[in-house]
Amino acid sequence: MAATTPITSPTTLLGKVGTVAGTTVKHVPTRMVLWGVVGFLVGVIGVTLSYVIGIWLLGEGAVGLVYLYLIPMAIPLLGAVLFGMHGLHRGAARATLSLEEKFGLASHLVGRVLAMLEARFGEDLANIPLQQLEVALKEIVATCMASKEDDEGKGMLAYVVRRARASITLCIENYLLTAYREELKESGHGGGVSMQKVRDRATRALSSNLGELVMSPLNKQLVVFLVLYLVLATGWWFWLFLILQGIGLLTSRGGVT
């Protein structure tokens, strides 16, 4: 079995990342502020539309909405916070891609998992049954996710590295299993599987698909956020009236009983 390439220690990795901290970390605060501004502006537009809709539907009754000014004032601020957090996650995702591009983070983490597998099975790893490998990978990935031994400290850079590790580690199991199956098929179930080839195959596949893996969930989250936020911002007075009406009905029923 080809020896697994030694992996870099967490401290060394963080040290390397630290040499270009400005290039990497800029993704997070920039996107956090940008999306916070977007959330605020969307809130302002939504609140404005809510008053237009209110005047159209309520006529003179819409004048009463002016006295509820604290709610529409709070909505853009809420949007700034929520979308700012979304921007924080998007920035961390972009930083993950930057770490992969500059330092081969996927290769680093795949090698780490394989090193733990090799420490557990030794030379038997080249001939381990697929089902046993799957169980072992689940345990090792869970251990990596829960481990605090690789604590990179505090601050923005440490946050980016931790999130990057988590994003990639969660995907490693499927890519290693797929690579192992493909190498097993090519080897004809004889002579053992080359774990170096498994590592190279899994790393290539993971690296090429990393952009979609880290950004796709965030894009879906953005759509949900945007729809729910617009519904809240443009119809806040309607939802408020429904809530008050529901409270009134519950109170009246409680009084009758």
> Residue 188's CB: how many other CB atoms inside 10 A?
7
Cα–Cα dist 6/108, whole Å? 9
Longest dimension (CA), the chain: 85
Residue with tokens 């996107």: 31
Instruction: pLDDT tens for the chain, 257 residues: list them.
Output: 333 333 344 444 555 555 556 656 677 888 999 999 999 999 999 888 887 877 777 666 655 666 677 888 889 999 999 999 999 889 888 888 887 877 788 888 888 888 888 888 887 787 888 888 888 888 888 888 776 555 555 666 667 777 778 888 888 888 888 888 888 887 665 567 788 888 899 989 988 888 888 888 899 989 998 999 988 888 877 777 777 777 777 777 765 54
Which amino acid appears at position 25 of this protein? V
Q: What type of residue sits at position 170?
A: L
